A and B are shown apart, each in its own frame.
Chain A
Amino acid sequence: MNLTLRIWRQSGPQDKGRMVAYQVDDVSPDMSFLEMLDVLNERLILSGEEPVAFDHDCREGICGMCGLMINGEAHGPQRGTTACQLHMRQFSDGDTIDIEPWRARAFPVVKDLVVNRGAFDKIIAAGGYITAPTGSAPEAHATPVAKADADAAFEAAACIACGACVAACPNGSGMLFTAAKLTQLSLLPQGQPERYTRVIGMVDAHDEAGFGGCTNAGECTAVCPKGIPLNTIGRLNRDYLKATAKGAGTPGS
């Protein structure tokens, strides 16, 4: 396959950045998208040019490190798949592929396609944990958890914090991420003591980080490589309403 790539190049946070076109020939349809970028980078290095910076780690679709806007879709055209697990057979010979970083004020570009997702850490630090020391795994029958709750909590816990929800959201909102990180705790016994301060703290941190507000457009779920369902945000909303009614403060207050 011969492809034309148009890639966002930005030398650093201060640089204005621009789309640059590259021709990549002899791409195997069995390559992953990131392997194709590796091939491009090797050629760029051989010709003395600066390689394209992009985030990646496990390349197994479970670490949440990779994240590219491919032809205007977060993680590319294949649903339920991270960019590293996307293969070139999804494209055709002669295609032009636009590759951009996640675009959000809360995710400033570090270089080329690499963005700083530290804003997610701030949301987690504002309540996405439990403070009780839980020790080793308890006897499984000691605290029964309803199967439906366990399943929903596990579904939410599949979030890998890649940021695709923010990238795809027309409002630049990180609500699906925030809701997933809340739900994995709010449906389980360990998460109960801090349930209502947690939701206030995390939503406040979300807003302070400069993410937009949720309008239930549903773009996030469509691109989420882990298929976090949209109703997770409803769980956040309900907890938030209860927390406001109770007058629950932020964690530690």
Chain B
Amino acid sequence: MAVTGILLVLFLIAHMLGNLKIFTGETAFDHYAHWLRGLGTPLLPETWFLWIQRTVLLAAVLGHIVAATVLAVRARAARPVRYAHRKAVRGSYAARTMRWGGVIILLFVIYHILDLTTGHLNPQGDSANPYGNVVADFAPERWYVTLFYTLAIVALGFHLRHGAFSAFRSLGQQTPGGERRARAAALVFAVVLCVGYLVVPFAVLTGLVA
């Protein structure tokens, strides 16, 4: 869980920083998107880097899901008779929504790829003009897209809050002081990533990016 999670988190950071390029204007953003396709040239043929990255990410996603499923199946098997009376989990909201939060994020990622990578669900869907795609996507009349996007990112934030701490712990974080720091770092990281991802649709919604 921890290792595949870290791979996905590294991608999330890069993806967020890339998104923020939208504030540098249409030409720069489209140029950035084009540059991504040519990343690694001339060492690699055009778009090869992207496909290698997609393969690694897909493997990480599948590994993450397999590990989560194993844990969920073991958890179910470990308690064949349920409690008649069970107090709500005292741990954090983030910890107890990991599984369903993960499912929401997966559904969102599928939608997101069909929307802004392949362009099938995008109102513009022009691969040469990603800036225009983003602006068309989060237009005020398509508020439900922004709403779904926001919900998914908040779910991601909760997932990261527990996930990041849990990754530290799984990889051997072992002191009480370190636990406090790891929890704080996970919270800050989750909030920064949430804000970084949400400024884009809200900038489009408010007309800051048009």
The residue among A17, A212, A216 with the most chain B CB atoms within 10 A of its own CB is: A216
A201 within 8 A of B: no
The docked-state distance in angstroms from the alpha carbon of A218 to that of B74 is: 18
Q: How far is the CB of A75 from chain B (nearest CB, A)?
A: 12
The residue among B71, B83, B162 with the most chain A CB atoms within 10 A of its own CB is: B83
A19 within 8 A of B: yes
Given the known A-B contacts A217-B91, A222-B91, A231-B175, are A170 and B85 also in contact in the complex, defined by CB atoms under 8 Å?
no
Q: Mark A193-220, 1 if CB is under 8 A from B, else 0.
A: 0000000000000000011110111110
The docked-state distance in angstroms from the alpha carbon of A217 to that of B81 is: 20
* Chain A residues with CB under 8 A of B77: 105, 210, 212
The docked-state distance in angstroms from the alpha carbon of A17 to that of B80 is: 13
Task: Indicate if the CB atoms of A235 and B174 lie closer than 8 Å.
Answer: yes
A165 within 8 A of B: no
B43 within 8 A of A: no
Question: Please, which residue of chain A has its CB at the minimum distance from the CB of B1?
Answer: A215
* Chain B residues with CB under 8 A of A73: 87
Interface segment, one of B31-39, B163-171, B190-198? B163-171
* Those of B53-99 within 8 Å (CB) of chain A: 70-71, 74-75, 77-87, 89-92, 95-96, 98
Question: Please, which residue of chain A has its CB at the minimum distance from the CB of B71?
Answer: A213
**Contacting residue for A231 out of B85, B87, B98, B178, CB 8 A:** B178
Chain B interface size, as a band, is: 35 or more
A112 within 8 A of B: no
Q: How far is the CB of B193 from chain A (nearest CB, A)?
A: 20
The docked-state distance in angstroms from the alpha carbon of A100 to that of B75 is: 19
Q: How far is the CB of A216 from chain B (nearest CB, A)?
A: 4
B172 within 8 A of A: yes
**Contacting residue for B98 out of A211, A215, A218, A234, CB 8 A:** A215
Given the known A-B contacts A215-B166, A238-B174, are A105 and B83 also in contact in the complex, defined by CB atoms under 8 Å?
no
B42 within 8 A of A: no
B126 within 8 A of A: no
Question: Can you list 7 residue pairs at the A/B interface with Cβ under 8 Å?
Answer: A103-B83, A218-B90, A218-B91, A219-B89, A229-B176, A231-B178, A234-B179
